[in-house]
């Protein structure tokens, strides 16, 4: 269930279903001390540590082995680069626990997940540089199928690279342990086209599909398959000999591939097939990822011209209240007054992050072969980023504070349940929103908390309102901002998610504040009704009692009980689907199609059937001479049917569309 919860707040497999942990708040207007200086706890100026192999290795050796052991993560690779050279590249732990094979930074392959997207975006910019692509042209000009405009606006590559194309979440063709699940981009792109739910350029909503679409466009304009293109135009020029987007891996690389684990105590899992390959199928050694970072830090190196690289790195998509935003393909992150551009990535088993500090000419990369216990990998990434910056790029981040009364009023106003822009809205997967709602809670001391997003930080959150409707976490420096109009919260986001996701107050129609209690009531009544039917029959048989209903009343009574049992069957079916999906996301992309079809027929039949038959039974009971207890039971059954019908309709638990 933890996997589902993370998926619904932003972080699928592949940086689509588990969300990546993101970095600290931007402070572009804050006064900063001199380069390499920070304010220590006593108010004095603290100097940066020297960024050399000896210091970095000693620091990492003190931090990472314990963090991995505590999180039960088998192995990791870390790479630090500066300028045009490697400061340190080092493996920790094991790539194969059973064989006790140590991680080699030069040869061991990890799966960077959505960090792969940076290679896709680099390929796009190469084609922009070649004059074959225009970032602001309708992408239909490059496709062999059509994507309809939304609100009269077409999608452009700039929208795609800033996650504002407007697609809803898509997971059916996402990730699988079955090699047969792989398909060409030409097959997948028209087949898996998600619904558009936002106008282009208006709302950040992370999309793996959109990235794969960009990869397909590169295929079409270059005349090469995506894999061939990356081999020829990125891997070969950089000398990345231990890297591949191909699935399964080429034979020569297979022995170098690290195993992926739930945690160090469990058996390894099969090699994952990332179906939208340009969005996350890369396998690469740490050393090769260092070469990629060095190229980008050196104005594109052999990959891009300096002006193209600046176009990619320096772009800032419009953002909410100057929170972290998107460059072209990179997430923007700020720490200690330093701007970083970055990207995180998660498959189910591998968890990675890449940060570049262009002004400081520094790059940092980590990849781990397990999420560990309680999502430990996310906390390790966050801590690595913050602690690295504090040690080698220190700076001052002064904090203000609003008065206590204002803080309490604002906390009360922003408290509530929210819907993420990264999610499913038009298909049955919207049901997952009922299982892991995102809520902001007003605390007793006038602050706020976001329990469902706490996993995006290594430390406990301590939100302090530093200016009206702007909160900062004192432990990470991240900000949370609420946009308020006419005394109502319109939207909320925070630096950890703002580049690709925002939160809006949940409308009453989908609010878990009333739906979850109503559904609990409904299921209790339905379960009691269904179980009472055979129990009463056995009691009557034992005492030779007559059935209390005759004629139409008897028929209505029996039909309402039949539909109660059908409701229970549907609920059990959805629970089985969700549990299977949470254990193996690939199961929802084909093996469970029969169950999905069955449930989307059974659910409306059961819920509407229960409402109609319970209503008929209730009318006959109330118009007949029945005891008040019988009348009350009939009323409760009708009331129980209402939220079941509501959830069926509003959460799209019907139909035959298999794009989700």
pLDDT at 45 over 50: no
**pLDDT at 44 (0 to 100):** 37
Please give the residue that has the higher pLDDT: either 375 or 122.
122
Question: Does the pLDDT at position 69 exceed 70?
Answer: yes
Q: Does residue 152 have a pLDDT over 70?
A: yes
Q: Does pLDDT of 15 surpass 70? A: no
User: What CA–CA distance (Å, rounded) separates 646 from 117?
Assistant: 39
CB 644 within 8 A of CB 610: yes
Highest-scoring range by mean pLDDT, 22-26, 276-280, 453-457, 463-467: 276-280
Name the residue among 290, 278, 221 with its Cα closest to residue 247. Answer: 278
pLDDT tier, 11 (very low <50, low <70, confident <90, very high otherwise)? very low
Chain-wide mean pLDDT for the chain?
90
Among 37-41, 475-479, 632-636, the range scoring the smallest mean pLDDT is: 37-41
pLDDT of residue 399: 78
3-state helix, strand, coil in the chain (%, to 5): 45, 20, 40
Please report the pLDDT score of residue 400 as a whole number.
85
Task: Tell me: pLDDT of 24 over 60.
Answer: no
- Report the pLDDT value the prediction gives residue 322, as an integer from 0 to 100: 84
Closest CA relative to residue 183, chosen from 245, 276, 278, 114: 276
Is residue 319 very low, low, confident or very high in pLDDT (cuts 50, 70, 90)?
confident
Query: Is the model's pLDDT at 42 over the cut of 60?
Result: no
Tokens for 22? 């993101």
Lowest mean pLDDT among 205-214, 459-468, 493-502: 459-468
Q: Please compute the mean of the pLDDT values over residues 421-439 and round it to a whole number.
A: 90
Q: What is the pLDDT of residue 46?
A: 61
The two three-digit tokens of residue 28, written as one number: 């572009």
Average pLDDT over residues 266-287: 97
What is residue 453's predicted lDDT score, i.e. its pLDDT?
A: 77
> What is the percentage of the chain residues whose pLDDT exceeds 90?
79
Of 160, 164, 125, nearest in space to 313 by CA: 125
Instruction: State the DSSP string of 75-104.
Output: EEEEEEEETTEEEEEEEEEEEETTTTEEP-
Task: Please name the residues in contact with 447: beta carbons below 8 A apart, sequence gap of 6 or more.
Answer: 407, 411, 462, 463, 464, 465, 471
124, 170 contact by CB (below 8 A): no
What angle do the packed helices 551-583 and 593-623 form, to 10 degrees? 150
Enter the tokens of residue 535: 């129990």
Least confident of 33-42, 331-340, 472-481, 514-523: 33-42
Q: Can you give the pTM of this predicted structure? A: 0.91
Give yes or no for residue 79 having a pLDDT over 50: yes
Share of residues in the chain with pLDDT > 70 (%): 93
Across the range 336-364, mean pLDDT stands at 97
pLDDT of 4: 34
Whether 519 shows a pLDDT value over 60: the answer reads yes
> Could you tell me which residues are beta bridge partners of residue 345?
352
d(CA 391, CA 137): 44
- Cα 257 to Cα 118, 250, 271, 407, 622, distances in angstroms: 21, 11, 9, 51, 70
Computed over its alpha carbons, how large is the radius of gyration of the chain? Answer: 27
pLDDT of residue 16: 34
- Are 505 and 417 within 8 A, CB to CB? yes
* pLDDT the model gives residue 19: 35
pLDDT in tens, 155-182: 999 999 999 999 999 899 999 999 999 9
Contact 639, 408 (CB under 8 A): no
Lowest-confidence segment of 22-31, 243-252, 273-282, 622-631 by average pLDDT: 22-31
- 237 pLDDT exceeds 90? yes
pLDDT at residue 41 greater than cutoff 80: no
pLDDT tens for each residue of 570-609: 999 999 998 888 888 877 877 889 999 999 999 999 999 9
**CA–CA dist 418, 506 (Å, integer):** 5
């Amino acid at each position: 269930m933890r996997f589902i919860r993370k998926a619904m707040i932003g972080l699928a497999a592949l940086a689509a279903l588990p969300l990546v942990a993101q970095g600290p708040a931007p402070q572009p207007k804050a006064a900063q001390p001199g380069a390499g200086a920070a304010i220590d706890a006593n108010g004095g100026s603290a100097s940066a540590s020297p960024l050399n192999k000896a210091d970095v290795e000693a620091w990492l050796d003190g931090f990472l082995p314990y963090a991995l052991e505590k999180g039960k993560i088998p192995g990791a690779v870390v790479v630090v680069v500066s300028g045009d050279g490697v400061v340190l590249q080092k493996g920790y732990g094991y790539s194969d626990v059973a064989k006790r094979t140590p991680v080699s930074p030069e040869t061991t392959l990890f799966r960077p997940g959505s960090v792969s997207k940076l290679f896709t975006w680099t390929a796009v910019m190469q084609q922009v540089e070649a004059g074959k692509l225009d970032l602001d042209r309708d992408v239909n000009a490059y496709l062999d199928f059509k994507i309809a405009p939304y609100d009269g606006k077409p999608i452009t590559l700039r929208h795609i690279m800033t996650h504002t194309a407007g697609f809803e979440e898509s997971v059916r063709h996402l990730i699988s342990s079955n090699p047969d699940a792989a398909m060409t981009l030409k097959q997948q792109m028209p087949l898996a086209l998600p619904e558009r739910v936002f106008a282009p350029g208006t709302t950040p909503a992370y999309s793996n599909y959109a990235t794969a679409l960009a990869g397909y466009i590169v295929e079409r304009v270059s005349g090469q398959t995506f894999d061939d293109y990356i081999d020829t135009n990125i891997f070969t020029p950089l000398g990345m000999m231990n890297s591949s987007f191909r699935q399964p891996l080429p034979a020569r690389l297979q022995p170098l591939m690290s195993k992926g684990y739930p945690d160090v105590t469990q058996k390894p899992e099969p090699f994952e097939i990332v179906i939208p390959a340009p969005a996350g199928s890369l396998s690469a050694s740490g050393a090769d990822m260092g070469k990629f970072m060095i190229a980008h830090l050196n104005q594109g190196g052999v990959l891009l011209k300096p002006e193209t690289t600046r176009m990619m790195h320096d772009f800032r998509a419009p953002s909410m209240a100057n929170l972290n935003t998107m460059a072209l393909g990179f997430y923007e992150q700020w720490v200690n007054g330093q701007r970083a551009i970055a990207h995180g990535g998660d498959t189910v088993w591998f968890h990675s992050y890449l940060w570049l500090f262009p002004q400081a000419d520094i790059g940092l990369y980590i990849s781990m072969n397990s999420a560990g216990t309680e999502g430990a990998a996310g906390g390790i990434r966050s801590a690595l980023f913050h602690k690295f910056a504090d040690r080698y790029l220190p700076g001052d981040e002064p904090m203000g504070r609003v008065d206590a009364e204002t803080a309490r009023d604002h906390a009360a106003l922003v408290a509530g349940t929210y819907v993420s822009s990264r999610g499913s809205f038009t298909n049955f997967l919207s049901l997952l929103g009922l299982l892991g709602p995102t809520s902001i809670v007003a605390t007793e001391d006038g602050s706020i908390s976001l329990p469902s997003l706490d996993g995006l930080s290594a430390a406990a959150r301590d939100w302090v309102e530093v200016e009206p409707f702007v909160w900062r976490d004192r432990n990470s420096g991240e900000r949370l901002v609420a946009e308020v109009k006419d005394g109502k919260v319109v939207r909320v986001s925070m630096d950890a998610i703002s580049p690709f996701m925002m939160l809006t107050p949940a409308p009453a129609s989908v609010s878990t504040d009333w739906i979850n209690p109503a559904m609990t009531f409904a299921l209790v009544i339905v379960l009691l009704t269904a179980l009472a039917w055979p129990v009463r029959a056995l009691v009557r048989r034992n005492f030779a009692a007559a059935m209390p209903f005759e004629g139409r009343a008897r028929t209505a009574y029996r039909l309402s009980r039949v539909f109660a049992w059908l409701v229970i069957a549907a609920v059990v079916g959805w629970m089985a689907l969700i549990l299977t999906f949470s254990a193996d996301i690939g199961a929802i992309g084909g093996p469970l199609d029969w169950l999905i079809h069955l449930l989307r027929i059974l659910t409306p039949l059961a819920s509407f059937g229960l409402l109609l038959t319970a209503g008929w039974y209730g009318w006959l009971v109330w118009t007949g001479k029945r005891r008040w207890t019988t009348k009350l039971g009939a009323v409760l059954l009708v009331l129980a049917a209402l939220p079941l019908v509501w959830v069926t309709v509003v959460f799209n638990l019907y139909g035959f569309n298999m794009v989700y």
